[in-house]
Amino acid sequence: MSAYSVVGGLRLPHKFLILSLIALLLAAVPTFFYVREAGKSLDAYQSEQQGLVRVAAVLKTIQFTQQHRGLAALSLGGVAGGEAKRAAKQAEADRAYGEVDAIVKAMGDDGVTAAWTASRRDWDALREGVVARRLTVPQSFAGHTALVPLLLRVNDLVGDHYGLSLDPDKDSYQLIQAMFYQLPYLTEELGKTRAQGAGMLARKEASAEERIALSIYTGRVGDRLDQTQAAFNKAASENPRLASSLGEAMREAAGLAQGLVRTASEQIVKPEQLSYAADQYVTLATQAIDAQFKLNGASGAVLEELMAEKIGDFHRTRWLMLASMLGLIALAGAVAAMISRSVTGPLRHAVLVAERVAGGDLVGDFDTGPPNEVGRMLRALKEMNDSLRHIVGDVRGSIDNIGAATRDIASGNADVSRRLEAQASSLEQTASSMEQMTSTVKQNADNARQANTLVAGAAGVASHGGAVVAQVVRTMGEINASSHRIVDIIGVIDGIAFQTNILALNAAVEAARAGEQGRGFAVVASEVRNLAQRSAAAAKEIKELIAQSVEKVEAGNRLADSAGKAMEEIVGSVARITGIMGEIATASAEQGSGIEQINQAVTQMDDMTQQNAALVEQTAAASASLQDQAQSLVAAMSVFRLDASELGGAAGGRAAPQGRAGAAAPAARPSLALAGR
C-alpha cells in the first residue's frame, strides 16, 4: 500500500491534523533545545547562589585563622590578657572549621576533600602547639602563615566547584573576583603585617631582618589593595548600583588598611626604640582586617541579590519565550481549525442530516445548502423526510388511541386492586383485633370465675372468723367474771388479816397485863401480828394487780365486741361481692361467645376479599400485557419524531376512545364488586 493511498483514505479532519502536527514539530524542536539550554544556565546560576554561602563559610575560617595568628603572637609574647583573647578566638575558629567540615562532606568533591583535610590537620597541630606553648612567636607566625594559603586553595576549589570563577556576566564576575580572589589575599597580607608587628612590639625590639619583612608585607598590602579596588571599580562600571551599595564600605576598608600601613611604617619600621603598645597595634590591624571582611560580607549580600535578580529575570524570560511560542502555536491552530471547518462544515452538515433522518428525526425543515452536489443530496433527503413524516403521523395517531384505551383499563384495574388490597388489609387487621379481644374476654371470664371462687372462700373464712371472735368475746366475759370473784376473795382475805391483827394486838395487851407469865404469849402474839400485817400487805398488792387485770380484761372485752361487729359486716360484704362476681363471670362468658361469632364473620369476609383481589390481579395482568404490547408498538414508532402540527390529528383521534373508556370503567367496577360478594 502506497503512502498516497494511505493519505487518500484518511478523513479530512485527520489530514488537517497531520499538517498541524508537522507545524507543531517545527516550532517544538527549537523550543525544546532552548528550554534545555536555559535549564542548564538556570542550574549554573542556582549553583553559584549555593556556592556563595559555602565560600563565605571558608572565608570565615581564613578570617579567624588570621586573627588567631595575631592573638597567638600576643599570648606567646607574654602580653597581659593576650591568652584569654586568643582562647576566645580559637573557639570561634573551631566552630567555623566544624561548619566547613559539614560543607565539604556534603559536596563529595575529592579535590576539595583532600585540600581541606590537609588544612584541617595543620590547624589542629598548630592550635595544640600554641595551647601547649611549644611554639615560639616566629614558629607560630610561620605555621599560621603556611596554613592560610592552604585555606585559600580550598576557597578557590569550592568556588570552582560551584562555578563562581566562570560567571558569564561582567558585573557579577568582577565582583566575585574582588570578593573571593582579591580580598582574601589582601586580608592575608594585613594579617601578616599584624602578626609581624605585634611580635616585634611585644618584645619591644626588632632586628633589621624583621623590619625588612614588615616593610615587604606593608608593600604587598598596598599592591593587593590596588588590585581589589580595580576589581570593584570594574564591577561598578558594569553595574552603577554597586558603587552606591558598596562604595562607602570600600572607602572605609581602604582607609583602615592604609592607616595600618602608615602606623607600621612610622611606629615599627622607622623608630630605633619600639614604644608603641602591642595591643593597640593589634586592635588597629584587627579593625582593618575586619573592615575587609565587612566589605566581603556586604559584597556577598549584593552578589546574592544580583544572583536572585538574574534567576528571576531568567525565569521571566523563559516563561515569556514559552508563552510567546504557545501563543503562536495557538494562533496557528486556530487558523488551521478555521480552514478545516470551512472545508468540512458543509460535508458534516450533509452527514448529520442523513443520520438524523436515519435515526427517525422527522421534525421541521432544514437548510439544503448551496446549489452544489451536497445541496442536491440534501434536497433529496428533505423530500424523503416529508413523505415519512406524513406516514408516521397517521400510524402514530392510531397507536396513541389504542395505547390510551389500554392505559385507562390498566389504571381502573390498578385502582380496584389497590382498594381491595387496602380492604383485605383492614379486614385482616380487624380479624386479628377480634381474636385478641376474644382471648382477652375469655381471660376476663376465667379471672372472674377464679375471683368468685376466691370470694366464696373468703366469705367462709370471714364467717369462721366471726364465730371465733364471738367465742373470744364469751371467753373474755367469763375471764372478767372470774376476776371479779378473785377480787371478792382477796377482800375476804384482807378482812381476815385485819381481824387477826386486831386479835394479836389484844393478845399482846393481855400478855402485858399478865406480866412475866404472859411474856411468852406476848412474843407469840407479836409474831402473829407481824404475819397478819404481812398477809394484809400481800392481799393489798394482789388486790391491786387483780384490779389492773380486771381493767385490761374489760378493755379486751370491748375490743372483742368491736371485732365481732366488724367481722359480721365483712361477712355481709363478702357475700354481696360473691354475687356480683358471679354476674360478671356470666356476662363475660356471653360476651366471649358473641365476639367469637363476630370473628368468624370477619374471617369469612377476609377470605372473600382476597378472592376478589386475586380476580382483579388477573384482570390487571391481562390489561398490563395488552398495554405492554401497545407500548412496544409505540416504542417502534417513537423512533420517528414529528412536530406539533403533525401530532394534532392524533390528539383529536384519542378523544373518543378516552370517553368510551371513561364510560365503561364504572360499569366494570360493579361487576368486580359482585364477584367479591
Domain end (from 308, 328, 349): 308
Q: Which of 96, 87, 82 is nearest to 127 (CA)?
A: 87
CA distance 274 to 271: 6
Domain boundary among 308, 338, 353: 308
Band of the pLDDT at 96, cuts 50, 70, 90? very high
* pLDDT at residue 154, as a whole number: 92
| Region of poorest pLDDT, from 103-112, 401-410, 546-555 | 401-410
For residue 367, pLDDT beyond 90: no
Q: Which range has highest mean pLDDT (37-46, 50-59, 310-319)?
A: 50-59
pLDDT of residue 655: 42
Buried b (16+ CB within 10 A) or exposed e, 343-375: ebebeebbeebeebbeeebbeeebebbeeeebe
Asked if pLDDT for residue 211 goes beyond 60, the answer is yes
Helix (H) or strand (E) holding 331: helix 278-358
Q: Please report whether residue 36 resides in a domain.
A: no
Measure CA of the first residue to CA of the last residue in the chain; give whole Å: 85
The least confident of 57-66, 155-164, 264-273, 484-493 is: 484-493
Q: How far apart are CA 289 and CA 286, in angstroms?
A: 5
Backbone angles phi, psi at 641, to 5 degrees: -105, 125
Tell me which of 620 and 182 has the higher pLDDT. 182
pLDDT digits (tens, 9 = 90+) for 448-463: 678 778 767 776 776 7
Average pLDDT over residues 598-616: 71
- Asked if pLDDT for residue 168 goes beyond 70, the answer is no
Average pLDDT rounded to a whole number, residues 48-75: 84
What would the mean pLDDT of 242-246 be, rounded to a whole number?
79
- Does any domain span residue 227? yes
The answer to whether residue 328 sits within a structural domain is no
In a domain, 31, yes or no: no
Query: Is residue 110 domain-resident?
Result: yes
Model pLDDT for residues 327-344, shown as the tens digit of each residue = 877 887 777 777 666 666
Task: Tell me: do 158 and 237 sit in the same domain.
Answer: no
Average pLDDT over residues 180-193: 85
- E strand or H helix that includes residue 416: helix 373-514
Q: Is 449 exposed, middle or buried (0-12, 13-18, 19+ CB in 10 A)?
A: middle
Are 139 and 241 in the same domain? no
What is the average pLDDT value for the chain, to the nearest integer? 76
Q: How confident is the model at residue 677 (pLDDT cuts 50, 70, 90)?
A: very low
- pLDDT above 50 (res 660): no
Please check whether residues 270 and 136 belong to one and the same domain. Answer: no
The confidence band for 647, taking pLDDT boundaries of 50, 70 and 90, is low
Q: 308, 330, 360: which is the final residue of a domain?
A: 308
* pLDDT the model gives residue 239: 80
pLDDT of residue 523: 81
Judged against a pLDDT cut of 80, whether residue 620 lies above it is answered with no
Which amino acid is present at 328?
L
Report the pLDDT averaged over residues 363-367: 65
Q: Is residue 448 part of a domain?
A: yes
Label residue 661 by pLDDT band (50, 70, 90): very low
Share of the chain above pLDDT 90, in %: 11
CATH number at residue 463: 1.10.287.950
What range defines the domain where residue 71 resides? 60-162
Range with lowest mean pLDDT among 72-76, 104-108, 432-436: 432-436
Grid cell in block for residue 238: 558594569
Domain shared by 520 and 615, yes or no: yes
Which of 116-125, 532-541, 550-559 has the lowest average pLDDT? 550-559
pLDDT at residue 255 in the model: 92
Question: Would residue 370 count as lying in a domain?
Answer: no
Is the Cβ–Cβ distance between 160 and 136 less than 8 Å? no
Q: What percent of the chain is helix, strand and coil (3-state, nearest 5)?
A: 90, 0, 10
139-160 pLDDT tens trace: 988 899 899 899 989 988 988 8
> Does residue 466 sit in the same domain as residue 582?
yes
What's the Rg (C-alpha) of the chain?
A: 68
Domains of the chain: total:
3
In a shared domain, residues 107 and 180: no
Cβ–Cβ < 8 Å for 159, 55: yes
Q: Residues 218-241: pLDDT tens digits? A: 999 999 898 888 888 888 888 888
Inside any domain, residue 335: no
Does the pLDDT of residue 387 top 70, yes or no?
A: yes
